[in-house]
Amino acid sequence: MKLRYEHTAVARWLKGQRPRGQVPDLICEVLGERLHRALTLDDIGLGTPGSARGPATPLSGFVERATALWRSDEQQRPHVVEAPAVTGTPAVIPVWEWENPPEDSDVSRRGLTRVSMTDIETLRAARAHYEQMYRKAGGVATRTRVVGFLNSEAAPLLRGAYADDTGRQLHRATGGLVAIAGICAYDSNAHGLAQRYFHQALRLAKASGDRGLGAYVIALLVNQSLFMKEYRQAVAFAESALRAAGSQITPALAADLYAMQAKAYARLGDGAGALSCIRRAETAADRIRPGQEPDETGYVQPGLVNVQVAEALLSLGDLGGAREHATAAVGTPAHDRGRVHRLAMLTHIELRQGEADRAGATAVEMTERARGMESQRLRDRLRAVREHLAASGSAATAEAAELIDGALRVPL
């Protein structure tokens, strides 16, 4: 599609005429990129005529819509599970609402069942349990379990009775669980569903008053934006999280956000932007102190920033720098899922450098680590590595490619 506009069209817009079709969304995206922040159509004066911008999604009604989604997911309703991810303004609005006023002044609720701190501790323990299950078994196997828990345990609590302070802790604990459900949906290739879970988690984070939790959820959205090749959106979302969370952002989360920004800038061909973010990511990573991070940022293990930086440098054509960081990442202990991704990156770099034998050996270790995990994302990673191995044409890579074929034949 080609769009052609000149100064006369801009003059009409300034006089109040609203451009047709997707042009308002495109203008919003361009201005947001220049300002390094998420914008809505209302922000730029191109909202739908006659519609007033309301406050952020009110909690009244949100709980019912959220729990309805959980029920539909558990029942495998196609219109929910197979829904595509939204882009443009609909993707931006939840981030904008999280960052901007009004805040929730009181989240207390009247209900039949009184929510206790024991209930909240149960939710927190469940989040940790399902996160570990995801890391070991993958999102496909874990999603049905965490969604079932949301329906049976979290939904009745959200509809229960609680004072403001307890309610904020309840919304925070539930937000962490909903984020895990989104991660599992993303890992299952259900991207529209994952996005809706992330948006729910962001709304719950706002109700909790915990900006750090909201920034963590936005990091999940940034990661999904990178996968969807929405690189400018990834940069804007990360900037929003870093700006709005302020002092509540932890070194681990800042390191991850800057590293993902670096990957986005590299994909956009902005070498200076990528290198600047790499330096910031490395500085933040040096400030990480074990035991001083919330549970949610536990995924930022030693070596994670290295593999993110390796990917950014690879996009910029710096094979030597990418190899150095990928090797450092592989040499650092990590859970099996993270190790698979690190080995996949190193395999790709070794192939690019013409070291087929080394790449074959690395790919074999990667495949062995991936066995037993039910994950569409890991399967996609294995397929990509297999294609690169087959293209090299050596005996060592052919053996590794056959091993990957065998792993991929195991159905999810």
Task: Give the least confident one: 52-61, 207-216, 358-367.
Answer: 52-61
In a domain, 323, yes or no: no
* pLDDT per position as a tens digit, 183-212: 999 999 999 999 999 999 999 999 999 999
- With tokens 């939840």, the residue in question is 94
Give the mean model confidence (pLDDT) for residues 211-230.
97
Q: Give 288-314 pLDDT, tens digit per residue.
A: 998 899 999 999 999 999 999 999 999
The pLDDT of residue 394 is above 70: yes
Q: Is the pLDDT of residue 336 over 90?
A: no
CA distance 375 to 395: 28
User: Would you say residue 124 lies in a domain?
Assistant: yes
Any domain includes 303: no
Closest CA to 250 of 199, 201, 295: 295
Judged against a pLDDT cut of 80, whether residue 379 lies above it is answered with yes
Taking the C-alpha atoms of residue 193 and residue 178, their distance in angstroms, rounded to an integer, is 11
CB atoms within 10 A of CB 104: 18
Is residue 4 a part of any domain in this protein? Answer: no
Q: Which of 209, 234, 260 is the last residue of a domain?
A: 209
Residue 242 lies in a domain: no
Question: Which whole-number Å values give the CA distances from 25 to 30, 44, 50, 166, in the listed order?
Answer: 9, 10, 18, 39
Mean pLDDT of 218-226: 98
**Lowest-pLDDT choice from 27-31, 332-336, 382-386:** 27-31
The last residue of one of the domains, among 209, 234, 258, is 209
pTM of the model: 0.86
Q: Between 15 and 265, whose confidence is greater?
A: 265
pLDDT band, residue 326 (cuts 50/70/90): very high
- Same domain membership, residue 65 and residue 204: yes
Phi/psi region, residue 209 (left: phi>0; alpha: psi -120 to 50; beta: rest), is left
Report, as an integer, the average pLDDT of 84-98.
94
The pLDDT value recorded for residue 50 is 45
Number of domains in the chain: 2
Lowest model confidence (mean pLDDT) among 27-36, 170-179, 223-232, 257-266: 27-36
68: pLDDT confidence band, cut at 50, 70 and 90? very high
How buried is residue 165: exposed, middle or buried, by Cβ count under 10 Å (0-12/13-18/19+)? Answer: exposed
Output the six-digit token pair for 56.
């952020």
Whether 8 has a pLDDT exceeding 90, the answer reads no
In a domain, 82, yes or no: yes
Token code pair at residue 223 = 């990661």
Task: Please report the pLDDT score of residue 54 as a whole number.
Answer: 41
Question: How high is the pLDDT of residue 139?
Answer: 96
pLDDT category of residue 70 using cuts at 50, 70 and 90: very high
Domain match, 66 and 205 both: yes
Asked if residue 28 has pLDDT above 70, the reply is no
Contact 241, 286 (CB under 8 A): no
* pLDDT top residue among 32 and 282: 282
| Cα distance between residue 142 and residue 136, in whole Å | 10
pLDDT band at 236, cuts 50/70/90?
A: very high
Residue 65 lies in a domain: yes
Both 204 and 69 in a single domain?
A: yes
pLDDT at 79 over 50: yes
Domain match, 64 and 204 both: yes
Within a domain: 71 = yes
- Residue identified by tokens 């992330």 is 198
For residue 364, the Cα-to-chain-centroid distance in whole angstroms is 28
Interatomic CA distance for residues 111 and 170, integer angstroms: 14
Q: Is the pLDDT of residue 67 over 60?
A: yes
Q: Average model confidence (pLDDT) for the chain?
A: 90
| Residue 59: band (very low, low, confident or very high) from pLDDT cuts 50, 70, 90 | confident
Q: Which of 174, 209, 244 is the last residue of a domain?
A: 209
Average pLDDT value for residue range 238-242: 97
Q: Give the domain range for residue 95.
A: 59-209
- Over its C-alpha atoms, the chain yields an Rg (Å, rounded) of 22
Task: Please determine, for residue 53, whether its predicted confidence score (pLDDT) is greater than 70.
Answer: no
Tell me which of 12 and 149 has the higher pLDDT.
149
Q: Give the pLDDT confidence score for residue 31 in this predicted structure.
A: 72
What's the pLDDT at 39? 57
**Lookup: tokens for 202:** 């962001």
